[in-house]
Amino acid sequence: LPWIGSYQLFRDWLTRRFGKANALLYWISDPPWNTAPSFDSHMVEAFERNVTNLVSVAKTGGCAPVLIQWECDWSARHLPPYHERTERATALYFQLLRANNDALQRVASRFDGCTYLDVGPFAPSQFSDTIHFSPDGLTEMARRVADGLEPLVRARLEAQTASVKEASWQAL
């Protein structure tokens, strides 16, 4: 039990040092972050490659991956304070989100059993800022994801039930 005292001291220090909103973010990266000077398709290609790799690994493990569309307040004309806050940066941010959503759709279409859920759009009131959901927005997002997952789960359960029944009949 001697580690409990050390843990409490460390936890106390962490809370004092990083307890303020975004303090860790500011301490590590010194925002506002500079935005790329222009749209670079290589960024989207890297994102698509990484998602493809994740889906491949998940499929190898027997999972049925579900890719969910990025959502934000598409009507907003500003970014959170830790981003460079210019019209150019805002336009680029939204262009990249749209391109990433397109990449997610492409990845999902290349894999059998991989689903893309289009959960949008959401009302501006469902965000606490441009990119983070409010409590009501989180509730709505959860409902939409659950609605999208229900038929997938139901189909998988029915397929498993059918294979168990078939195996049972064959055993007789």
State how beta strands 66-68 and 115-117 pair.
parallel
What distance lies between CA 143 and its chain's CA centroid?
16
Q: For 72-84, how does the pLDDT look when each residue is reduced to its tens digit (9 = 90+)?
A: 999 987 776 667 7
Q: For 104-129, how does the pLDDT look when each residue is reduced to its tens digit (9 = 90+)?
A: 999 999 999 999 999 999 999 999 88
Regions in the chain scoring below 50 on pLDDT: 1
CA distance 45 to 57: 18
The whole-number pLDDT of residue 110 equals 97
Coil, helix or strand at residue 83: strand
